[in-house]
Structure 1
Amino acid sequence: MVLVTGASRGIGRAIALAFAGEGARVVLAARSAERLAQVENEVRDLGAEALSVQTDVTSHDAVAALVEASVNRFGRIDVLVNNAGIGKVGGIESSAFADDVRQTLQASLFGMITVTQHVLPILRQQGSGAIVNMSSVMGRKAFARFGSYAIVMHSVSAFSDSLRQELAGTDIGVSVIHPALTATDLLREATEAEMPAPFRHMTPLSPDDVAHAVIAAVRRGKRRVVLPRTANMLLLGEAVSPRVGDTIAAALTRRPIAKALGMSRGKTYHETISNRPEPATRSR
C-alpha cells in the first residue's frame, strides 16, 4: 500500500495515479476533500483500491487519524511519499520573508517529520518499507528570490540523509527526490517577473515525469534522484565551488544556454499553467 500526502493535485496526484497504474492500493491525503474525492475516483478508474483521508499534515491528531485509517483499511503501509508542501517567492529583504520561511517550514518540513514519525513504527514492525521525501533542486542549490523555499528544501535533504543513515541495516529505504521547476500550481501566485530569473524561460517538468522517477526510486532503492539529469551539472558545479555554482545559475538566465542544456525546449511555466483553473488550495 502506498500513502501519498499532498495527493489532491500536481505531483502528489500524479504519483498516486502512477502507483495505481502499477496495481498498488493507494491512500490519498490532503486538505481538500473535494479534490481528494476526484483523485480517488481517478485511482479507482484504473482498477486500484483507494482511500482518501482529508488531512492537514501540520496537525498531529490529523496525521495520527490518517495513519490509523490507513492501517485499519489495508493492514500495512509499504511506501510513504511525503509530498505535501507549499512554496513562496520573495527577496530576503522583504518584510514577509521570515513569515514565508516559518509557513513553509511548518507545511513542508514539520508536516513531513510528523507523518514520518507516525509511519516509521509500522514500517519497523513490518521489517520493510520505503519512504520517499520530495525536495527540489533547490534542496541542493538555492536561487535568488526563492530563499525561503530553498531553506526548507535544504532541510528536507538533511532530514532525508539523516533518516537514511539511522535506518541503515534495516529493509526500510529512504529516497529523496530533487525535481527542477515542475508544472504544478506551486508558483501560480507569482508573476513571471517575480520568478527567479533562471525559471522565467525554463520548460517545466511534467508531474508525470516526477511520478515515474518516484516509482523507479522505490523499485531500485535509489537514495537520491535529480530531475532532469542535466540539473546535476549545476549541483556538481556547486559542490566544486559556490562560485562555479553561481556562474552556472547565472548562465541559465540566458535562454540559448538553457536551451542547449535541454531545459528550455517548449512552453514556459506560466504558459503551461495559464489555461488551468485556479485551485482552492495548492500542492506540489
Structure 2
Amino acid sequence: MSRSFAGKVVLITGASRGIGRAVALAFAAEGARLVLAARSAEGLTEVEQEVLTLGAEALSVPTDVSAPEEVAALVGSAVRRFGRVDVLVNNAGIGKVGEVADGSFAEDLRLTQSASLFGMISVTQQVLPVLRRQGSGAIVTMSSVMGRKAFARFGSYAIVMHAVSAFSDALRQEVAADGIRVSVIHPALTATDLLRDADVAEMPPPFRHMTPLSPDAVAKAVVTAVRRGQRRVVLPRRANTLLLAEALSPRLGDLVATALTKRRIAALLGMSSGKTYHETISVPST
C-alpha cells in the first residue's frame, strides 16, 4: 500500500462526519498524522478511534471555526503536538436551501458565510505562518460544482461557494513563491448530511433524482490533488459538461441545468445511475 504521506501532518476541519471523516481515514491510510477539528467532540472521538485503528496518530480538537479564539487554539495545539502542519483541508461548512425571495435567505447566507467562508479564511490565516516558516505545504479548500454554476433554490450556498473558489484562486497565486500549493475541490452532490433536512420537493431541481458521489470518492480525489499539486478538481468529470456550457454562455449553462432536471437526460450524462440523495442517506452508515 502507498504511504506517500507517512509522517506528514494533516489538519482537517469538519472532520467528524461526511467528507471530513472520509478525508481523515484516507490520509491515515497513507501514514499521515491527523489533527481533527469539528464542533462535535463525540463525533471527533469516533473518527479518532477509526484513525488509530488504521495505525495513524491523531489529535482531536473540538473547534467552532467561526470563533477566532478557538481557531487559534486549534492551530496552536497542532504545532505543539506535532511541530508542523503539512496539509490543511478546509472542509467545515453548512448549506441552506431556499429561494432568493424567501424571508430567511439573507440569514441563511449569513450563517453559511460564517461557517463555510469566514471560518475557512480564519483557519487558513492561522496556518499560513506555519507553512511559510516551513517553506512548504498544501492547502485544500472544499468548494462545489455550485462554486462555478449556481442552481435554483441553492443561491445562498452558491454565493459562498463562488467566494470560496475566488479565495482559492487568489491564495494560490499569493503563496506560490512560498512553496505552498493550493487545490480547490468542486464536488457535485455528495452523500453527506448537508441536505438531510431538506424535503425532496425543496431540493434544487437537478438534485432530486441525481445519484450522489460517495464521501470516499471525494476523499480519494483530495489525497490525489495534494499528491499531484492539482489546482482545481471537478467531480465527477462529467460535471465539466455543465461548467463548460456555463463558461461559453449563461444561456447554455441554464439549458444544461434545466436538462439535468429530466431523469433520462441526467442518466445519459451519467449523473443519475442509482439511488437518489435521500435514498442514499436513509441507509445507515457502517
Question: What TM-score does the superposition give when structure 2 sets the normalisation length?
Answer: 0.96
Describe the superposition over 1:90-109 as per-residue Cα deviations: whole angstroms up to 9, x where unpaired. Answer: 00000000000000000000
Residue of 236, 239, 242 corresponding to 2:244: 236
Which residue is equivalent to 1:85? 93
1:261 matches 2:269:
yes
* Uncovered stretches (5+) of structure 2, i.e. residues with no partner: 1-8
1:213 aligns with 2:221: yes
Matched, 1:44 2:52: yes
Quote the residue 1:281 is aligned against: none
Aligned to 1:7: 15
1:201 to 180, 197, 209: 209
Give 2:260's match in structure 1, choosing from 243, 247, 252. 252
Q: Equivalents in 2 of 1:211, 1:249: separation in Å?
A: 26
**Residue type at the aligned position of 2:53:** D
Residue from 164, 168, 184 that aligns with 1:156: 164
Distance in 2, Cα, partners of 1:94 & 1:124: 44
Equivalence for 1:280 = none
The reply on whether 1:73 has 2:88 as its aligned counterpart is no
How far is the alpha carbon of 1:126 from its aligned partner? 0.2
Indicate the SS of the match to 2:237: coil
2:192 to 180, 184, 187: 184
Q: Runs of 4 or more off by more than 3 Å in structure 1?
A: none
Deviations 1:114-143 (A, max 9, x none): 000000000000000000000000000000
1:165-185 deviation line (CA, Å, top 9, x unaligned): 111222100000000000000
**Superposed displacement of residue 197, structure 1:** 0.7
Distance 1:132 1:162 in 2: 13
Question: Whole-Å Cα distance in 2 between the matches of residues 3 and 185 of structure 1?
Answer: 21
Aligned residues: 277
Question: Aligned equivalents of 2:207 and 2:193: distance in 1?
Answer: 14
Q: TM-score, normalised by structure 1?
A: 0.97
Equivalent residue for 2:281? Answer: 273
Q: Tell me, yes or no, if structure 1 residue 33 matches structure 2 residue 38.
A: no
Identity %: 75
Q: Deviations over 1:66-115 (max 9, x none)?
A: 00000111110000000000000000000000000000000000000000
RMSD: 0.7
Higher relative contact order (CA 8 A, sep 6+): 1
Give the corresponding residue for 2:152. Answer: 144
